[in-house]
Chain A
Amino acid sequence: METAYLIETIIKIVVILLVFSALAGLGTYFERKILAFMQRRLGPMYVGPFGLLQVAADGVKLFTKEDIIPTNVVGRIFKLAPVITAATAFMASAAIPFLPSFELFGYKVNPIVSDINIGILYILGVMGVGLYGPLLGGMASANKFSLISAARGAAVFISYEVVTGLSILAPIMMVGSLSLIDFNNYQAENGWIIWSQPVAFILFWIAAFAETGRTPFHLIANDHEIIDGFGTEYSGMRWGLFFIGEYANMFFISFVIPLIFLGGFGDGSVMGALALLGKMAFFFFFFLWTRAAWPDVRPDQLMWLCWKVLMPIAVINIVITGLVMM
């Protein structure tokens, strides 16, 4: 392994970590503002112009708060759980091409940490591992609400992960590769996959809501039912890590959906890169939009939906795709 590649990779990792940690903070700002506007409120207004520095104020608060480890928790697991959530969220980003490759001072930069040939499988797998954060945190917390949250997490996980995997199988069959770069190139030649796989797109989008735990499926950390679920006993930066993980996950899913279904960055021009960012912004906005508009479903309704409605549809979609491809 040559040194230049090593340095380049480390720089990319650091940039992604910094950008998406900051974006996670900004994401909370956007969420508050957009939810507020939709509910005819103003949202944060006092810290900085238009409340922009609220993010910094929250960061200072989280960093300086006492890190409380309650009495009856399983200490080591309790301490580790938030790290799992945040770390896996960022690990998943390693296979996501955020922008088309570009020239910087005569040096060709690929804005993807590693274009591995099992990209989507890796992303879904690592995001699946991310569930261990809420699960272990909830079970180690010695708190009944956290325990309910952990149980819900496991139940929700086995439901939506099936739909995620099966819905994405049909596009994978068409492209014949698991790398997101290949997905992008395929769509640059043959048109967006959403036109040939609309059902898979809808299913994957629905599953993305369950994956990130956003509102119609906001069950694991459901504030109005089980306090903050697995986060109830956490304080300070450990809770902040859960938060960063959750919002980073939202951003990464918002990148993955357009990359798989909506043409990604297209031919790699500047317009294509901006289009990808625009699509990402739309999907992120949609996460916030639904939170303002839709009610939550019950956990059993989500399982019913995933197992009895979405999974059969996904299987039928795969069968039809296979028949058409033959």
Chain B
Amino acid sequence: MKIEEQFNNRNVSDNGYFMVDIADYPTTPWGKFKRVVKRTFRGELFVGLWVVMREMIRFDIHTVQYPEEKMPIGPRYRAVHKMKRLWESDTERCIGCGLCEKICISNCIRMETKIDENSRKEVSEYSINLGRCIFCGYCAEVCPELAITHGGEYENASEQREHFVLYEDMLTPLDKMKAGTQKEFEGFGAITPHEDERVKKTPLAY
């Protein structure tokens, strides 16, 4: 029988809960002795022995030998940030608006921008202090261009607490981009599936 989970029904009596049938604790020595005899000859101990022996014979090992084997992590996992490129032109998505720097609640993002020769805003310096970052995902959520997202890199051993990651490190490499293997982040700030059908494209005629 599968019990439907009812998250808002706090009424214990009709929620699939039931009292466990536990016999009263014996108070008299004779009662205790009877319980010992019952437990001794009912074979509970051998049930335990059989269970562990069965598991040993079955040899269904669940160990993940970590550095060699790794568990797959979810696409929404929030680890070290990634900077994405545009699919159309392979240029950087980041427009230097500075929203991520503003919203960052642990003040770990620092960026400097300038106007380049084409009068476009360009990011000249961008760093995230991973020692301060709490991986809350606000930067990815606030980014209007889906430029800064989270990635799956969770092995950040470092020699010091101030472990910085720079713009170039986070940016999708060009060769990867050319191979078309850049993956969109599915977590915070990402567009929902079937967004294409629901959202009108920006009119480029303006």
Contact = CB atoms under 8 A, between A and B. Distances in A.
Asked if A and B are interacting partners, one says: yes
Q: What range describes how many residues of A lie at the interface?
A: 10 to 19
B202 interface: no
B52 interface: yes
B22 interface: no
B51 interface: yes
Given A293-B48, A309-B36, A40 B53 contact: no
Q: What range describes how many residues of B lie at the interface?
A: 10 to 19
A37 interface: yes
A164 B56 CA distance: 32
Given A293-B48, A294-B45, A309-B36, A38 B53 contact: yes
A10 interface: no
Interface string A284-326: 0000011011100000000001001100000000000000000
Interface string B54-79: 01100111110100000000000000
B49 interface: yes
B52 A293 contact: yes
A39 B65 contact: no
B65 A42 contact: yes
Contacts of B60: 40
The secondary-structure label for the interface of chain B is helix
Contacts of A181: none
A37 B59 contact: yes
B56 A37 contact: yes
A289 B59 contact: no
A281 interface: no
A34 interface: yes
Given A34-B56, A38-B56, A309-B36, A289 B49 contact: yes
A59 B36 CA distance: 42
A42 B61 contact: yes
B65 A40 contact: no
A40 B56 CA distance: 7
Among A34, A293, A305: residue with most chain B CB under 10 A: A293
A45 B45 CA distance: 31
A41 interface: yes
Interface in A11-47: 34, 37-42, 45
Given A40-B62, A41-B62, A45-B65, A292 B52 contact: yes
Nearest to B54: A38
B63 A41 contact: yes
Nearest to B57: A37
Nearest to B67: A46
Interface in A30-73: 34, 37-42, 45
Interface string B13-49: 0000000000000000000010010000000010011
A38 B56 CA distance: 5
Given A40-B61, A45-B65, A290 B55 contact: no
B52 A289 contact: yes
B53 A289 contact: yes
B54 to A, nearest CB: 9
13 contacts: A37-B61, A38-B55, A40-B55, A40-B61, A40-B63, A41-B61, A41-B62, A42-B65, A289-B49, A293-B51, A294-B48, A305-B36, A309-B36
Interface of A: 34, 37-42, 45, 289-290, 292-294, 305, 308-309
- List of 6 A-B pairs having minimum Cβ-Cβ separation, nearest first: A293-B48, A38-B52, A42-B63, A292-B52, A37-B56, A293-B52
Interface of B: 33, 36, 45, 48-49, 51-53, 55-56, 59-63, 65
